[in-house]
Amino acid sequence: MARGLPAVWSSILAAPFVVGGLYVYLTDPSEFVTRQVGLPMIGFGLAVIALGFYIHFVAAPEPPKMRERESVIDTRHPSQRAALAKAILGFVSLLVAAYLLLFTFTPFVYPTVAFILGLYLFTTGLHRYWTNTLTTYFVTNRRLIKEYRFISLEKQEIPFDKVRGVRERKSVWETLVGLGNVSVSTGGGRELKIVIKNIYSPTEFADEIRNYV
Amino acid sequence: MITLHRRDVLKLTGATLVTAGVMPSRVSAQPENEFGSWPQAGYDAANTGYNPDAVGPRDDIAQAWEFGTDADASGHWAPHTEPMVFSDFVILPALDGYYYALEAATGAEIARVETEAGAVSRPAIGDRAVFAETDVDVIRAFEIEGDAERWSYRHPLGDGPYRLTYADGRLYLPGVIALNTDDGSEAWVADTGAGWFGVAVADETVFAAVEAGSEVYALDAGDGSERWVTEIDGRIEELVAPVVGSGRVVVQSESSHLHALDTVTGELAWTFDPRPSTRNASTPAIHDGTLYYGHSAPADPDTISEDAGTLFAIDLGTGEERWSIPTRGGIGASPVVADGVVYVGTFGDEESRNPSPRLIAVAADSGEVLWQSEMAFDVVALSIAGERLYAMVSDGVLEVFGPAASTTPVAERSDDTAESGARNVRSPMATVDTGLASSRSGDSDRGQRGFFSNDGSDPAFLTNMFNLTVLGFLLSLLGLVYQMLGGD
């Protein structure tokens, strides 16, 4: 089972689409927009709920197997704060789009722009939320492991004796919400890199890794 | 109001309506009947196009029945005649030269009669008789109750076909000639040369315009004496009869301008310029101090646009526009009004972005489009009686619609009509994606809602919000799943 409650939160995030779609379809609030616009809204909301349940009950990865004399020192999960902020901004933009579309006489280009922007922010926020839910970083005394599974398992690991660089980075967005990224990479021709995204206290985490390098 | 009984319809025995069986031999007078009445062109003698007893389809529309004739109106010089309805019967003067008598309930043909005059003339019903031009320049009166022809009258000036008008025991013919309907005798003759496409009668006054001239006459209905004559600026449109209401008589000039004259003095009250000016054969309708005018843009392929037609609501007292809506196609059927709803029919134009003709219902007070229905052929004439809307389309078929509750909804009939070879394919009764929106006076930003602007110049696919919404959500969902499959 995935960490957190993705089924519950996905349902909460999707509920406005289902409710809004039903409202549009049943009440036909605008003379300029067909009530059938409510149907794709309902469909989108139901799809989000279905994916949320899938992630909750099916998709989460299992913890990695430890080798001999290996133990887990730290386990990190990406924070959901950035994802949540993005999704909320997307919601606001989608609400603006719905208002402009259904309750004003402005040319359709304005609600369309707000719709595209809102949908982009919401879906990227939702994607980040689900991805974070399914991603776990394990720091053992020998290696750094990243596991992700949606349908198939994706596992990356870097033995600490191969690490040639540990880098912290905070984007403006992450600085605003108090998060950061730590990039751990090997050198050489076929560089392997694990980016630990959206974690609290990235400096502390980077130092922890540096101690083992 | 009279009620006809199927069993009373006479068999075809001759050239007249009665002997042809178009008129039933026995009727009983009853105050009400299920199918209402539309007794003459323009409904009443004032040509208002307003039926106070009708309650047409307001919220939804469904086809009740259809009846086909051989009257293809494409390119015909004269506008179609709307069907007359009285009691349980429909009389359909068709351009194929026949009068058809149909059962109002089912559309089943009872009888037909070929007329030498051609059926572009307009019959009238009143004084328990039907008046029709059955032979060239010959008008006959047929008893509704009984088998007899009451009288016949040969128009001394000729040059039919005629639009007949009945009012208060008189039948009015072009010229103007008033006949006593009891015996067909001339009550009076006014040598005006006016009224060739119909007169209007109201307040004991006969109003007649000189076709392709400029004079509008007001004649005393009692003796035919001239009350006033006014010359308007421009030539009068020959296919549009005067309409009267709220102290105004309104005539239309060839430039499509409307000229409203005071019914008492004949003074010009106002002129309405719909822009762009063009010849326009749509007769306005009048109800409750408002004139409803369907206007078509010039039939110029370089200028025809998404808004080839406009329905105006005009204050009869002042001539000010109350609201207007673009009808997309040009006006094919003059507006009719019943129970607070204005109905209008449009042409399609394959060269434009609106190839589909439409039937449109609009709230009379606000200009809100209540519903619209796409038709396979141009809508060329409308009448409304009882709960039903009668729409003549250009391939000679009479389409009859009623509210969905009492008939089969159009959407549900699509399979049936396809199997039966019916010609019309209609969209669901949604007004939201039609781009039809009212433009109210004092609210100039309202009009057709477009994508980049509301001037109606955007491609239709950009204004279909359903498609754009489906596309947006689908792409988002696919993108979401694709990204999830790709990992972090």
Buried b (16+ CB within 10 A) or exposed e, A77-107: bbbbbbbbbbbeebbebbebbbebbbeeeeb
Inspect the interface and report whether the beta carbons of A107 and B445 lie closer than 8 Å.
Answer: no
Min distance A153 CA to chain B CA atoms (Å): 9
> What is the pLDDT at residue B291?
95
Give me the amino acid identity at A79: S
> What is the pLDDT at residue B431?
35
3-state class (DSSP) for residue B458: coil
Segment among A185-194, B232-241, B439-448 with least mean pLDDT: B439-448
Rounded CA-CA distance B472/B113 in Å is 59
Q: Compute the average pLDDT of residues A147-153.
A: 80
- Binned at pLDDT 50, 70 and 90, residue B428 comes out as very low
Buried b (16+ CB within 10 A) or exposed e, B252-291: bbbbbbbbbbebeebeebbebebeebbbbbbbbbbbeebb
Q: pLDDT by residue (tens digit) across A39-86?
A: 999 999 999 999 999 988 877 667 788 888 888 888 888 888 888 888
Min distance B305 CA to chain A CA atoms (Å): 19
Min distance A162 CA to chain B CA atoms (Å): 22
> What is the pLDDT at residue B156?
85
Rounded CA-CA distance A173/A178 in Å is 9
Within B22-137, strands assigned E span 27-29, 62-68, 84-86, 89-93, 98-103, 109-114, 124-126, 129-135
Distances (CA, A) of B352 to B46, B158, B300, B431, B447: 36, 41, 11, 20, 19
pLDDT over 90 percentage in chain B: 33
Inspect the interface and report whether the beta carbons of B451 and A112 lie closer than 8 Å.
Answer: yes
- Of residues B470, B481, B484, nearest to A131 (C-beta): B484
Rounded CA-CA distance B339/B362 in Å is 11
Tokens coding B64: 């009740």
Q: Inform me whether the C-beta atom of residue A204 falls under 8 Å from chain B C-beta atoms.
A: no
Q: Inform me whether the C-beta atom of residue A34 falls under 8 Å from chain B C-beta atoms.
A: yes
Q: Compute the average pLDDT of residues B126-154.
A: 85
Q: Which of B398, B461, B404 is nearest to B424 (CA)?
A: B398
Q: Inform me whether the C-beta atom of residue A108 falls under 8 Å from chain B C-beta atoms.
A: yes
B367, B381 in Cβ contact below 8 A? no
> What is the pLDDT at residue B31?
35
List CB contacts (< 8 A) between A107 and chain B: 449-454
- Binned at pLDDT 50, 70 and 90, residue B350 comes out as low
> What is the pLDDT at residue B59?
81
Indicate which of B429, B436, B465 best probes the interface with A, i.e. most A CBs within 10 Å of its own CB: B465
Q: Which residue of B has its CA nearest to A109?
A: B451
Q: Inform me whether the C-beta atom of residue B480 falls under 8 Å from chain A C-beta atoms.
A: yes
Q: Which residue of A has its CA nearest to B472?
A: A116
Q: Compute the average pLDDT of residues A150-167.
A: 84
Q: pLDDT by residue (tens digit) across B62-114?
A: 889 999 887 665 555 455 678 899 878 898 888 777 888 899 999 999 888 77
Q: Compute the average pLDDT of residues A23-32.
A: 83
- Of residues B368, B462, B466, nearest to A31 (C-beta): B368
Q: Which of B5, B224, B238, B30 is nearest to B105 (CA)?
A: B5
Q: Inform me whether the C-beta atom of residue A42 falls under 8 Å from chain B C-beta atoms.
A: no
Q: Inform me whether the C-beta atom of residue A49 falls under 8 Å from chain B C-beta atoms.
A: no
* pLDDT surpasses 90 at A121: yes
Inspect the interface and report whether the beta carbons of A131 and B488 lie closer than 8 Å.
Answer: yes
Q: Compute the average pLDDT of residues B262-266.
A: 94
Highest mean pLDDT among B45-54, B63-72, B303-312: B45-54
B374, B427 in Cβ contact below 8 A? yes
> What is the pLDDT at residue B270?
94
- Binned at pLDDT 50, 70 and 90, residue B227 comes out as very high
Q: Inform me whether the C-beta atom of residue B487 falls under 8 Å from chain A C-beta atoms.
A: yes
Run of H or E residues at B412: helix B410-419
Q: Inform me whether the C-beta atom of residue B368 falls under 8 Å from chain A C-beta atoms.
A: yes
Q: Inform me whether the C-beta atom of residue B482 falls under 8 Å from chain A C-beta atoms.
A: no
- Of residues B470, B472, B481, nearest to A119 (C-beta): B472
Rounded CA-CA distance A1/A94 in Å is 31
Tokens coding B326: 């673009």
* pLDDT surpasses 90 at B434: no
Tokens coding B84: 């007359």
Segment among B20-24, B48-52, B171-175, B445-449 with least mean pLDDT: B20-24
Segment among A194-198, B367-371, B409-413 with least mean pLDDT: B409-413
Inspect the interface and report whether the beta carbons of A109 and B468 lie closer than 8 Å.
Answer: no
Rounded CA-CA distance B234/B412 in Å is 49
> What is the pLDDT at residue A63?
77
List CB contacts (< 8 A) between A40 and chain B: 466, 469-470, 472-474
- Of residues A36, A101, A127, nearest to B483 (C-beta): A127
> What is the pLDDT at residue B4?
34
> What is the pLDDT at residue B299?
56
> What is the pLDDT at residue B352?
57
* pLDDT surpasses 70 at A25: yes
* pLDDT surpasses 70 at B8: no
pLDDT top residue among A34 and B488: A34
Rounded CA-CA distance A11/B154 in Å is 82
What is the ipTM metric for this complex?
Answer: 0.81
pLDDT top residue among A166 and B445: A166
Rounded CA-CA distance B303/B296 in Å is 12
Run of H or E residues at A93: helix A81-103
List CB contacts (< 8 A) between A115 and chain B: 468-469, 472
> What is the pLDDT at residue B21?
41
